[in-house]
Amino acid sequence: MFFLLLLCFMVCLVFLHDYFTRKRGYRWEKLSEFPGDTPLPIFGNGLQLGFDADESAHKLLAMWEKHGKQNIRLSLGSEDWILLTDPDDIGTILNHSTEISKPLERNMAMKPFFGNSVSTSEGERWRSTRKLMAPCFNFNTLEAKIDDVNKYCDRLFEVFDTYDENSHVELYRYLRPFMYDILCTSLMGVETNLLADPDHPYLKASGKVIKIVTYNYFSYWRNIRFLFTMSSQYTEMMDTIKTIKQNSTNIISARRKILNSIIEKTRNNNKNIDIDLEEIIESKLNNGGCLLDKLIFSKSSNGESTSDDIINEEITLLCFTGHYTTTATISHTLYCLAKYPEIQNRVLEEQRSIFNKNMHKKPTTQELNQMKYLEAVIKESIRVIPTVTKIGRQLQNDLRFKDGRVAPAGSSVLVFYEAAYKNPTVFPEPEKFNPDRFLDSMHTFAFVPFSAGPRNCIGFRFAWVAMKATISNILKRYEVSLGDAGTEPQFVSRLVTESKNGIHLKLKKRTY
């Protein structure tokens, strides 16, 4: 017992020595220029955030308010964070050409699910994958994607029409498979119909991902691997990972069968003609082929075909983020429209002005571009209920901000969306739901929900098309209103904001 106590005492002395040495160092000198609470030895400010990951965002917001609603710093163990809410400083980090590494804690939480995909990778893997994906999200491919959204809206309405106007529709339950089906058709070249099976194992598993990733991020004991591997949470995580990765394997296999059939048919139809099949395939891919095709036919720098393991990582990421974040934004916007019926009426008037008497018509690219007020409503909904709550960078070198302060190398710089969107100097009366604020000009980096700069969200155009077309189609067909008492959303700020009890609304079919 004596030796155990002596060992604990010696360990504490080492940590205390490191703590006080650190407090006298250059890094702390620079960090201390930013306001924040004094960190404790070993724990930093971790005990202030507590052990409930769902409550950590509220506590971070309270720290921000306590320190004057400006950029703040805090420490979690040996890791140091600077949380940005000033648009000038947000622009400094997001526009930086070389500081593009994601935070260590974030990557540790994400990699078990998505591996070394475009979201977490760096260097050549990141550059080559992003370059490969980019053509699938350019303006030339948008019209076809709008057609896919419109087609699946008809399937969605078949489900919604089964509810009477006094019944609650839980939006996540149907919009998640709806968006997933669109994504698979548009980007994977595989027809799915999960909307007919909202209890599909993939949907159940993907519904757990954000909670698990957030808890991995903020529940610090999970970094003690030997403890975590003995817990029921670890078993749940591994089962979830297995399900979502197997789903990607199934998608890749289904698309390979389709491609092999196309190739075989092309061969049979051109037996007596000297053709270059690879050239035909390459021409098709450069002509707006689906993203999964590009991954399947891609080759590494040494000429080898990309392995299925690498393709699986990218598809697992795209399937999840592509359907989950877009679903959240659409659902939360519809909730805000139900909560503020006068704003819903203004959106409907805009729809009438665009479509005239043909309110059953599905939108085109040109018509979506005219929906300025609807776009402002979606943006204001994201501001009030941020879809993504934080993004960040792990600094490789010192970073100097406009006011002269320096974020030291090794620290994590985070864009703290929840606070940035409540910054009264940028958004006057931030507690007020006011879409009109987005009809006026504002700082370029005041509102960047899809990030910006070299690591912006590559699929942001696809997301805007999907969100605007879906909400336009829904509002032209239904009047949306709040559910009964007891169904109010219970929002939690995880890495993605979501309601623990879903989004329950009533849909009343419109008559024209």
- Residues flagged as binding site for heme: 457
Q: Where are the alpha helices (DSSP H) in 163-231?
A: 171-183, 201-218, 225-228
Q: Which own/partner pairs from 435-442 qualify as long-range (CB within 8 Å, at least 24 positions apart)?
A: 435/343, 435/373, 435/376, 435/377, 435/379, 435/380, 436/376, 437/376, 437/380, 438/375, 438/376, 438/379, 438/380, 439/372, 439/373, 439/376
Give me the sign of the Cα torsion angle 179, 184, 189, 195. negative
Q: 395, 98 in Cβ contact below 8 A?
A: no
Binding-site entries: 457
Structure tokens at 97: 């050409």
Q: 34, 45 in Cβ contact below 8 A?
A: no
Beta pairing partners, 169: 505
Q: Which residues contact 286 (CB under 8 A, 6 or more apart)?
A: 135
Q: Which residues contact 103 (CB under 8 A, 6 or more apart)?
A: 392, 393, 394, 412, 414
Backbone torsion region of residue 6, taken as left when φ is above 0, otherwise alpha when ψ lies between -120 and 50, otherwise beta: alpha
Closest by CA to 182, choosing from 322, 48, 315, is 322
Distance of CA 316 to the CA centre of its chain: 13
Position of tokens 């698309």? 255
Q: Which helix (H) or strand (E) holds 237?
A: helix 232-269
Position of tokens 């939690």? 492
Q: Which helix (H) or strand (E) holds 71?
A: none
Give me the sign of the Cα torsion angle 358, 331, 143, 461. positive
Residue 115 one-letter amino acid: G
Position of tokens 């739901």? 433
Closest by CA to 401, choosing from 32, 76, 88, is 88
Distance between CA atoms of residues 482 and 505, nearest Å: 5
Q: 118, 129 in Cβ contact below 8 A?
A: yes
Give the start-end residues of each E strand in 248-396.
390-394
3-class SS of residue 489 = coil
Closest by CA to 81, choosing from 395, 426, 437, 511, is 395
